[in-house]
Amino acid sequence: MEKLKVLYEDNHIIVVEKPVNIPSQGDKTGDEDMLTIIKRYIKEKYNKPGDVYLGLVHRLDRPTGGVMVFAKTSKSASRLSEQVREKKIHKKYLCIVDGKLEKEKDTWKDYLLKNQKNNISKVVKKETKNAKEAILDYEVLKYNKEIDLSVVKVNLQTGRHHQIRVQFASRNHSLYGDQKYGTRGRGKNLALWAYYLSFLHPTKKEIMEFEDYPEKIGSWKILEEN
């Protein structure tokens, strides 16, 4: 496991960069996950005996990298979880998508239905049973005509299952490297990165903002180009 990249840490919270293809928490694969990695880091750094408390308050999908906050106390976990429920934790994403979008910026509203069996969501009609409203705003940062790919900044108004991936794919602009919904970049890492996170500090009551960008390697080399 590569060295943990810590963006901020105090007695109450720890903000880190989640690498791609690491689960946020343990799953059936048994692969090492962020909770385990950070607990080990805290245990070693502070020489803590016994179990280390660490609260998971939000998740990023396994193939998605970027900024995450974890709670180091149960009080912080409770207060941050409340912010998640009240939509006071804000996340913004960068993604690389197929083709050129019609509009430079727009707001999309759809209704998504998750299939529990195959862990895939799809756009459905509003009246479909169990459908959930999904809203996002996007802005195109750049378009590369030679490779027909766009770099897009996305602000999620709702946090639905695979929301960004499904909403873009449904409009024939699937994310590059998306093995479930995509057409291009098979075998590559998913080009989706949570670059911005803001929330109210659980004890200091200050707004905390973090930005963290992917390394300009692989698909993200496109960020270097003019």
Catalytic positions: 61
* Contact assessment for residue 63 and residue 21, using Cβ atoms and an 8 Å cutoff: yes
Three-state DSSP string of the chain: CCCCCEEEECCCEEEEEECCCCCCCCCCCCCCCHHHHHHHHHHHHCCCCCCCCCEECCCCCCCCEEEEEEECCHHHHHHHHHHHHCCCCEEEEEEEEECCCCCCEEEEEEEEEEECCCCEEEEECCCCCCCEEEEEEEEEEEEECCCCEEEEEEEECCCCCCHHHHHHHCCCCCECCCCCCCCCCCCCCCCEEEEEEEEECCCCCCEEEEECCCCCCHHHHHHHCC
Q: Which residues pair with 131 in a beta bridge?
A: none
* Contact assessment for residue 18 and residue 34, using Cβ atoms and an 8 Å cutoff: yes
